[in-house]
Amino acid sequence: MSESVAKTELPIAYSWQMPQWQQLAQLVDSARLPHALLISGPDGIGKHRFAQAFAASLLCEQASGFSACGQCRSCQLLLAGNHPDFREVCPEEGKRQIGIDQVRELQGFVGKFAHREGGKKVLLIHPAEAMNHFTANALLKTLEEPAGDTLLMLISHAPSQLLPTIRSRCLQMKFGVPGGDVAKGWLQHYVGDPAQAEHLLAEAAGRPLAAKALFDNDGLSRWLGYDGRLSAVVSGSLSPLQFAEELAGEEVLDVLDWWLGRLMALSRHLLAERPVPPGVWQDLAGRDSRLVMDQIDKALQLRAKLQRGAPLNKRLLFEDLLLSWFAAVNR
Ligand SMILES: [Zn+2]
């Protein structure tokens, strides 16, 4: 149920997260840090690492300039993945929801004072929407009477799906897609080529870590492959059901990112005369923008469901997406 923060070095916040980092630094400096933070925003922008970096700095025994030293006993315990005053809860391997037992097991952690005298305890839950109604209520009950100074950090890609009673007890920190050149500079440093960095970021809707993942796992050529298969469906040489079956063997969120990315590009083209996405999508560029918006809504709802850990049959999911798309365009 718990996961180590890092193995070789402690995480630090990303360069585009400095405004939020400063905001927390001010709260800590003025002793106004609340007991619960909700860190929300799209997937792929580094919220998790931000939360881990903040936890490390709060637990560090000699943080300087508000970042963990990496040397003290607390930092060493975090590096070793067994800090007694830190817990991280995420869905267990192979599962998409956080189990109620995982939350009940936190009772001991929440009920004991920090090991370091006068120190804080930090509980990180990621992603918070992976808790269902029962689990979220169990968490609230667990947190009713914490011993000592306990900070709850919830990370969420879909905060609207959290229980209002959870949301209302947190200070909400919204993280958007980073603007300006900071993310581009970071990615360019990694991939080496400015034009490629720009292309990757555009494909990933501006989300730097999603863009990096596309680069790392050759996502752009994989997406072009999906375009090619979709094109075969449009030309009638491949059935939508067969394509759905192929897609069911792929990483579901990656396929949804491709689908959504192309639809978003199409909608930008329809609404603002922006460039049309590649290949097969050009055939659909003359369509009604409402139709595209409906398909975007559908895909976004599916992604939200997936992120919440709802059980889904991948083949049926893709069949539904493809059939509804073709029903709409052939109407
Ligand atoms: Zn330290």
Rounded to the nearest angstrom, the distance between the alpha carbon of 283 and the centre of ligand 1 is 57
| Contacts of residue 25, Cβ cutoff 8 Å, sequence gap at least 6 | 66
DSSP 281: G
Residue 22 Cα, ligand 1 centroid: separation in angstroms? 19
CA 112 to ligand 1 center in whole angstroms: 22
pLDDT of residue 196: 94
DSSP state of 11: -
φ, ψ for residue 72, nearest 5 deg? -70, 175
Q: Is the pTM of this model over 0.85?
A: yes
The neighbouring-strand residues paired with 259 are: none
Query: How far away, in angstroms, is 233 Cα from ligand 1 center?
Result: 57
Gap between the Cα atoms of 46 and 66, Å rounded? 19
141 phi and psi angles, rounded to 5 deg: -65, -45
**Å from CA of 60 to ligand 1 middle:** 4
Interval between CA 52 and ligand 1 midpoint (Å): 13
- Distance in Å, CA 88 to ligand 1 centroid: 19
For 244-262, what is each residue's pLDDT tens digit? 999 999 988 899 999 998 8
How many A from CA of 104 to the centre of ligand 1? 30
Ligand 1 centroid to residue 115 C-alpha, Å: 15
* Per-residue pLDDT at 304 exceeds 60: yes
Helix axes 182-191, 208-216, angle to 10 degrees: 20
Measured in angstroms, how far is the CA atom of residue 144 from the centroid of ligand 1?
A: 30
pLDDT tens digits, one per residue of 137-175: 999 998 888 888 899 999 999 898 899 999 998 999 999
| Strands of the chain, DSSP E | 36-40, 86-89, 120-125, 149-156, 171-174
Average pLDDT score over residue span 279-290: 72
Q: Would you place residue 210 in the very low, low, confident or very high pLDDT band (cuts 50, 70, 90)?
A: very high
Q: Which is it for strands 36-40 and 149-156: parallel, antiparallel or unpaired?
A: parallel
* CA 153 to centroid of ligand 1, rounded, Å: 20
From ligand 1's centre to the CA of 105, what distance in Å?
27
What is the token pair recorded at 142? 């667990």
Report the pLDDT averaged over residues 168-183.
92
